[in-house]
Structure 1
Amino acid sequence: MKSVTVIGSGIIGLTTANALQEQGFQVRIVAKERFDKTLSNKVGAVWFPYAIEPIKKSSFWAAQSFDRYKKEAGIAPGISFVPFLNAYVDESKEEWVDQLPPGTVRKAKPEELPKGMEKGLIAEVPLAKPPLYLPYLFEKFLSSGGTFEQKNLTNMEEIANLDSWVINCTGLGARALCEDEDLHPMRGQILRAEKLTVPSFADPTKKGALSYIINRSKDSVIGGTDYDDDWNESIDPNDTNLILSRLKAFGIESDPKILEVIVGLRPKRSAVRFEFDSDYPNVFHNYGHGGAGFTVAWGCALELSNILSQKAR
């Protein structure tokens, strides 16, 4: 049986490992931390192509992921489809719309828009609850013969020697491992609050002023921040106040009851690195997915598994 080692156990690593198993590979995951300690376990995880390049390619990956989540809805714990409003402006690039089935996306009516939002698109989109979905993927991986090893890797030579094929899904950790200065953090602070009664929406139209509400079954995730090159993982009370003030700008008058404040560093890059390494040809890189990890994870994983399957013939 063909052998592959996947590095990283966040959403990119877990979907990659599962997709490779579906192609008949024997897969091992090696990671510094288990999935429950990764950035993927912290996020709101709604299907939303945000802060990711290249746009056309990521839109295709997002559409593939959309289809996969549709198949998993009702089967995989933590996966559901919810109505979601996405703000846009005339110059916005909304290529993802063209990748989805006809009738999936429609323009919002004026009465459906929050205060201050001029235009929006509404669609039923996938929503993942990481504390349920990530364990499902991990257990599925183990039950299909996969193995997990917790280990801190430090350089590309060490990575290349792990296996005949190695997939690098280390997210922001790839900056040091690959000496990739194009990869940098985009700091996000979010609030987990008691469930709100207003519809879920996102407004990414103003750089540095990302705002969104993601309503889940028992709570709501309110965001957020999108600060480039900010390595601060500590909670900033000023950001909490800023997030709440933006809510009021959308016409939401009463402050929600905050249950938890969460900070994470998104792995942003000028473009997702999705390629074989030029110096270590047995290593394939799959990192730099910005704020769209859950949105494109399955699309990347399925394309990657097809590429490797053809190589291994």
Structure 2
Amino acid sequence: MTSNTDDLDVRVVGGGVIGLTSAIALAEDGHRVRVLSRDTAAGTTSAVAGGLCWPYRIQPYERAVAWSVRSFQVLTDLARRPEETGARMVTGTMTATTGGGGGAAADAGDGVEDGLAAWYAAVPGLRRASAEELPEGCASGWRARTPLVDMPAHLRYLERRLTAAGGVVERVEVASLEEAGASADVVVNCSGLGARELVPDPGVHPVQGQLVVVENPGIEEWYVSAASGATDTTYLLPQPYGLVVGGTARENSWSTEPDPAVAEAIVARAARRFPELARAWVLAHKVGLRPARPAVRLTVERLSGGVPCVHNYGHGGGGVTVAWGCADEVLRMVREVQEGRESAHR
């Protein structure tokens, strides 16, 4: 959709999945967009993400579910071209924790207990898993066909799409949001964990995630068992480059170095559910720092120099899942800024 009003000069700070999708929404609307990022897309936390489209460790749930539903729609469409976009539709199981417990898929018939009822209602074909479809030791779960994204490939697609829309990516470290807005009409802050210092916002903190990539022994479906506040989780995500086995969710841990003992425990947990993994060849170890916050910040404020700044950060473990929904809100907010400028000039 192209705006009928004069376009704006926009600086998007951050080149991960949140920054790139926001930039694409704005560039495809006709704005002049430059993404400012210290790291290449491949060097961002987004590149380490498992890539499953499902709300995880993100608040507020009501808004996050709405954003997730929008992203589900976009990624489902992109999954028609998996080699180009990195998105595929894959069937899998989201389990409840043994003995109930309100995990990622709580043991509630309508999904109300874990705040995701609207998500369950929106996913086509989502249903209760039968006992035969659950690994031994799992009490209950959901079966669904959802987007699973090969993030390195997807980030390359997003950069190509942004370039095709006239956007530009610059490798530069931004010292302040005011600096980013010095020659812009609007700043969009998608700096993730960097917002802790850049805003500054002390509520932003890392949730460390470690995973292991192994040679896939023939597992074709995804599997997740992750209680909402658990430090250790179990998930398997079949990607073209190998089977992603996870994982951890460690609050306020800043280390990006893989811990061999943690890696061994990750594989051991998964092998208890899927014994063939005990002999799988390890291809890689990865660690990412999820940019967490008590709730996503998606608001507009004026910087000290007067330039409007749309904040879009604090997505925790749900960045891939909510990116396109949040990008729509960023576009709406920038349009409101634009309309305000035009009204002032009349």
Larger CA Rg, structure 1 vs 2: 2
Conserved? CA contact 2:11–2:184, under 8 Å: yes
Equivalent residue, structure 1, for 2:320: 294
Q: How many residues align?
A: 312
| 2-structure distance, mates of 1:77, 1:279 | 35
| 2-structure distance, mates of 1:159, 1:12 | 17
Conserved? CA contact 2:236–2:245, under 8 Å: yes
Equivalent residue, structure 2, for 1:310: 336
Per-residue Cα deviation, 1:156-211 (whole angstroms, up to 9, x for no partner): 33234241101001110111101211110000110111113343111112611211
Query: What is the letter of the counterpart of residue 216 of structure 1?
Result: Q
C-alpha displacement at 1:117, in angstroms?
Answer: 1.5
1:176 matched to 2:206 = no
Equivalent residue, structure 1, for 2:85: 77
1:264 matched to 2:288 = yes
| 1-structure distance, mates of 2:154, 2:253 | 28
Conserved? CA contact 2:193–2:204, under 8 Å: yes
SS across alignment from 1:243? helix
Higher mean displacement: 29-38 or 259-268: 29-38
- Aligned CA distance change for structure 1 residues 48 and 231 (closer, same or farther; 3 Å): same
Equivalent residue, structure 2, for 1:219: 242
Conserved? CA contact 2:302–2:308, under 8 Å: no
Equivalent residue, structure 2, for 1:200: 222
Conserved? CA contact 2:237–2:243, under 8 Å: yes
Equivalent residue, structure 1, for 2:164: 143
Conserved? CA contact 1:60–1:99, under 8 Å: no
| 2-structure distance, mates of 1:222, 1:106 | 24
| 1-structure distance, mates of 2:324, 2:166 | 20
Query: What is the letter of the counterpart of residue 215 of structure 2?
Result: E
Query: What is the letter of the counterpart of residue 63 of structure 1?
Result: V
C-alpha displacement at 1:269, in angstroms?
Answer: 0.6
Q: CA RMSD in A?
A: 1.7
Higher mean displacement: 139-148 or 292-301: 139-148
SS across alignment from 1:85? strand
Query: What is the letter of the counterpart of residue 291 of structure 2?
Result: P
Equivalent residue, structure 2, for 1:58: 64
Query: What is the letter of the counterpart of residue 89 of structure 2?
Result: F
| Structure 1 gap ranges (5+) | none
Higher mean displacement: 187-196 or 159-168: 159-168
SS across alignment from 2:116? coil
C-alpha displacement at 1:96, in angstroms?
Answer: 4.6
Equivalent residue, structure 1, for 2:106: 89
Conserved? CA contact 2:213–2:285, under 8 Å: yes
**1:38-57 equivalence runs, <5 A:** 38-57=44-63
| 2-structure distance, mates of 1:218, 1:35 | 18
C-alpha displacement at 1:249, in angstroms?
Answer: 2.9
Q: Higher relative contact order by CA 8 Å / sep ≥ 6: 1 or 2?
A: 1
Equivalent residue, structure 1, for 2:126: 105
| Structure 2 gap ranges (5+) | 1-6, 96-104, 108-112, 340-346
Conserved? CA contact 1:97–1:105, under 8 Å: no
- Displaced runs of 4 or more, over 6 A: none
| 2-structure distance, mates of 1:178, 1:270 | 16
1:252 matched to 2:269 = no
Equivalent residue, structure 2, for 1:285: 311
| 1-structure distance, mates of 2:320, 2:217 | 23
Query: What is the letter of the counterpart of residue 236 of structure 2?
Result: I
Equivalent residue, structure 1, for 2:41: 35
